[in-house]
Chains A and B, each alone.
Chain A
Amino acid sequence: MDSLIPFTTSGSLVDCVDRKMLVVLRDGRKLQGVLRSYDQFANLVLEDTVERIYHQDAFAEAWRGLFLIRGENVVLLGEIDLDQEDEIPLRQVEWTVLEAYHKQDVANKKRREDIKSQVLYEQKGFCKEGGEGDGY
């Protein structure tokens, strides 16, 4: 049966509909929700979405609701194993508590990336990449 389905967006995602999915966006955001619909561009409709942030062994969730995500921005789409989900070795804390730490993590990562690309550009002869903003 699997072999009959060509490797297309539609063929790959048809089994994911109505399942709880993890979506990672290009800006690094992680969303969890029920995949209700998609199209050939991997535009997604996510219902009952929550956004999760992580810092060390803690995570926090914030309710986000119904999403329509433009496919271009999707990095990863994966099914969440509902059984294993209950056994994650992380503790949940309040969003307001974790948000500051998470922002700090993001800022640190950005700084590291900036330094790296600077070194690659100045010393290793790489070209400068557009970066996250895509420069549109």
Chain B
Amino acid sequence: MLPLSLLNAAQNKPMLVELKNGETFNGHLVNCDNFMNITLREVYQTSAEGDKFWKLKECYIRGSTIKYLRVPDTLLDAVKEEQNRAREAGRSARGAHVSGAGPRGRGAPPRGRGMIRGGGGAVRGGRGRGRGM
């Protein structure tokens, strides 16, 4: 689960975005892209000093101005579960497909985490980036 995939999975979730200049934006994520550009809705903006506040219906934030995003603690677990479900679904679909040809279904690789591979035939060896989620 790469950081930007996590951001993608955070759509419609509440989050706090702090910009490099210290301003913060509290709102729900509407959309994001691979540059980390984001749009938020129902936003509370706070000045860097924390003394001024604005309420915005919707706002767009250029990714390059972001310092960090704080997302719900439950998001990681939710995403992991989602991946597991997807993997299970993929496994059973593949299993049904090859079942006629004998017990050759490889199924999902026995790692705990990592992305769902696109059904590649070759055995994946080597170091790879498996641990990077």
Contact = CB atoms under 8 A, between A and B. Distances in A.
Interface of A: 4-5, 10, 13-14, 17-18, 25-27, 36-39, 43-45, 47-48, 64-70, 72-73, 133-134, 136
A17 B133 CA distance: 9
Contacts, number: 88
A44 B69 CA distance: 10
Contact of B76 (A26, A44, A47, A73): A47
Interface in B43-93: 63-73, 75-76
Given A69-B68, A136-B20, A10 B129 contact: yes
Interface of B: 1-4, 6-7, 20-22, 36, 63-73, 75-76, 127, 129, 131-133
5 contacts: A27-B20, A37-B2, A37-B6, A39-B4, A65-B73
A70 B69 CA distance: 8
B73 to A, nearest CB: 5
A68 B3 contact: yes
Nearest to A34: B76
A66 B33 CA distance: 20
B132 A67 contact: no
B115 to A, nearest CB: 11
